[in-house]
Structure formats: C-alpha cells, structure tokens
Amino acid sequence: MHSHRLPINAQQGVALITSLIFLVILTMLGLSVVNSTTAEEKMSRNTRDVDVAFAAAEAALRDAELHLTGAYQWPYNGLKAIDFDSACTNGLCDSSLLPAFTSINDADFYGSSGVGANSQKIGTFTGTAAISGLKSSDQPRYMIEKVCTKLNSLQGFCQTPAFRITAKSRGRLPNTMVVLQEVYLPADFGN
C-alpha cells in the first residue's frame, strides 16, 4: 500500500486557520462573559451600598425620635419648644424662624459650615451605637425642624407643633447618599 501524502510545502494550512478563528471567537466570548460578570458585580455592590446607607438613615430617624422624646433616659426628659432656634443649634431648627431661603433638604450635613454643619451624628445625645461598616466621618446625621400644624393667631406662637426629621447617610462608596424625611407627632410635647 502506498499512501499519498502531500509534501509539507504543498499543504494549505486550512486546519491552522480554522483553529485560529475558533480560538479568536472563544477568546471574544470569554472576554464578554468577564465584562458582563464585572458589570453585574458593580451593580450588586452599588445596590448593597444603597441598602446600607438607607438602613443607616433609617437608624438616624429612630435616633432623632429618641432625642426628641427623651426616651433614651429615665426619667424621660424630652426636648422643649425653647430648644429650637433659627441657628439650628444642636440640629434643632424652628422653621417659623428660619429665613425663607434656608432649606434643610439642601443643607450639607457633612460640611463644616452652614446650617447643615449643626446636624447631629447618630448617638450624640442618645448613646446609640455607630453603624458598623461606616467610617466615623460617614455616620448618619439628622436635623429636627419644629413646624406648626396650627398657629395660635392671638398669641402668635405655635400651638400644635409637629417635627420634620431629616436624616442623611453616606454609604461605603464615596458617591452614595440617602436622604429620608418623616413628620413625627409626639403625643405630649410641651410648649
């Protein structure tokens, strides 16, 4: 038997070209899977960071309620109407005294100047523990505004106050920020 073989210099290299094409296609497929996985991982991390910041802001709302009512101490010694002023001392603002241009929503709670700088870090008054996983400088902060639900027109003072609590929290990533607000109506707040 005699087999017919082509001389080496007469081969076309079709198998080599075909295998190189498959190798390029498989490499591109692998790279697209890696890119997709990386993008999904980033989305997951961002979602988790927003969840952490949201939970921290929620904790700041609860801390502000404790501060407002005095329920963190015995005997209860909650805030009084005179504790609120236009300078927002200790994060306590009287919205009827604030200038019209002042908005707590736009205040920088993490800044070193302006109204927002008076915001309070969680646990400052109540002893509530810091949120684990967040740096000290990123702990949630809050401000409490006294707002009137009914104005006593004869005496010119707030007869029935309510409180708008604004809480802000950062996440672990530098650009994550969550802002929560609630209106709190304590059962017995004295003027």
**For residue 123, is pLDDT > 90?**
yes
**What CA–CA distance (Å, rounded) separates 26 from 121?**
53
Query: Two tokens at 94?
Result: 């009287």
Report which of 122, 120, 126 is spatially closest to residue 92, judged by C-alpha positions.
120
Tell me the residue ranges of DSSP E strands in 7-108.
92-94
Whether 164 and 145 have beta carbons less than 8 Å apart is answered as yes
Condensed to tens digits (0 to 9), the pLDDT of residues 124-171 reads 999 999 999 899 999 999 999 988 766 554 555 666 678 999 999 999
The pTM assigned to this predicted structure is 0.75
pLDDT tens across 28-85, in order?
998 988 888 888 888 898 999 999 999 999 999 999 999 998 888 888 888 887 888 8
Are 120 and 142 within 8 A, CB to CB? yes
Question: Does residue 146 sit in helix, strand or coil?
Answer: strand
Domain ranges of the chain: 13-184
* Token pair belonging to 99: 């200038």
